[in-house]
Amino acid sequence: MTEQQMDGPVYLGRPVPEPDPVPGCERCARLADEREQWRKAGDDTRVSDCNVLMRRHPKHEHRLP
């Protein structure tokens, strides 16, 4: 197996803030509840999935800063 090397440093941006559920939206409320359940279970991948689904919600936009 050959060893691979990177060409240069990796620069990471700031973490994207979590979207807030839109008041009165049942889908957002469900995703926010599910996100908290996964957070308590220690599953950060599923927390991230909920955030992505909330941002991609078709009825409204969660604007990124």
pLDDT digits (tens, 9 = 90+) for 29-42: 999 999 999 999 99
For residue 46, tell me if it sits in a domain. Answer: yes
Q: Provide block-wise average pLDDT over 10 residues at a time, the chain (65 residues).
A: 76 85 88 97 96 81 52
pLDDT at 64: 47
Contact 51, 18 (CB under 8 A): yes
Distance CA 23, CA 45 (A): 25
For residue 60, tell me if it sits in a domain. Answer: no
Look at the chain and report how many structural domains it folds into: 1
The pTM is what? 0.70
For residue 44, tell me if it sits in a domain. Answer: yes
Q: How many CB atoms lie within 10 A of CB 40?
A: 9
What residues make up the domain containing 37?
26-55
pLDDT at 59: 63
pLDDT at 65: 46
